[in-house]
Amino acid sequence: MTTVIDHHTDTVVVGAAPLRPEDVVAVARHGARVELDAVALERIAASRILVEDLADDPEPHYGISTGFGALATTFIATPRRAQLQASLIRSHAAGTGAEVETEVVRALQLLRLQTLATGHTGVRPVVALTYAGMLNSGITPIVREYGSLGCSGDLAPLSHVALAAMGEGDVRTATGELTSAGDALAEAGLEPLVLREKEGLALINGTDGMLGMLLIALHDLSVLLETADIAAAMSIESQLGTDAVFAADLMALRPQVGQAASAANLRAYLGDSPIVASHKGPECTRVQDAYSLRCAPQVHGAARDTADYARSIAFRELSSAVDNPVITDDGRVESNGNFHGAPVAYVLDFLAIAVADVASISERRTDRALDPARSHGLPPFLAHEVGVDSGLMIAQYAAAGIVSELKRLAVPASVDSIPSSAMQEDHVSMGWAAARKLRRGIDGLARVLAIEVLTGARAIDLRAPLQPGPATGAVRDLVRTVVRGPGHDHFLSPDIEAVTDLVISGQVAAAAEGAVR
Catalytic residues: 62
Radius of gyration of the chain (CA): 26
- The whole-angstrom separation of Cα 461 and Cα 457 is 6
Q: 341-378: string of b/e by CB count within 10 Å (b at 16+)? A: bbbbbbbbbbbbbbbbbbbbbbbbbbbbbbeeeebeeb
CB 14 within 8 A of CB 36: yes
- Quote the DSSP letter at residue 488: S
The 10 Å Cβ neighbour count of residue 41 is: 16
Question: Dmax over Cα atoms in the chain, in whole Å?
Answer: 91
DSSP-derived 3-state class of residue 272: coil
CB 107 within 8 A of CB 167: no
DSSP string, 287-354: ----HHHHTHHHHHHHHHHHHHHHHHHHHHHHT----SSEE-TTS-EE---TT--HHHHHHHHHHHHH
Query: Is 332 exposed, middle or buried (CB count within 10 Å of its CB: 0-12, 13-18, 19+)?
Result: exposed
Distances (CA, A) of 213 to 103, 351, 406, 432: 9, 12, 17, 9
CA nearest 101: which of 209, 1, 180?
A: 1
- The whole-angstrom separation of Cα 22 and Cα 275 is 39
246 CB-near residues (< 8 Å, 6+ apart):
263, 266, 267, 270, 297
Give a three-class secondary structure readout of 390-408: CCCHHHHHHHHHHHHHHHH
Query: Is 433 exposed, middle or buried (CB count within 10 Å of its CB: 0-12, 13-18, 19+)?
Result: buried
Between β-strands 178-180 and 170-172, what pairing exists: parallel, antiparallel or unpaired? Answer: antiparallel
CA 41 to centroid of chain Cα atoms: 30
CB 508 within 8 A of CB 502: yes
CB 120 within 8 A of CB 186: no
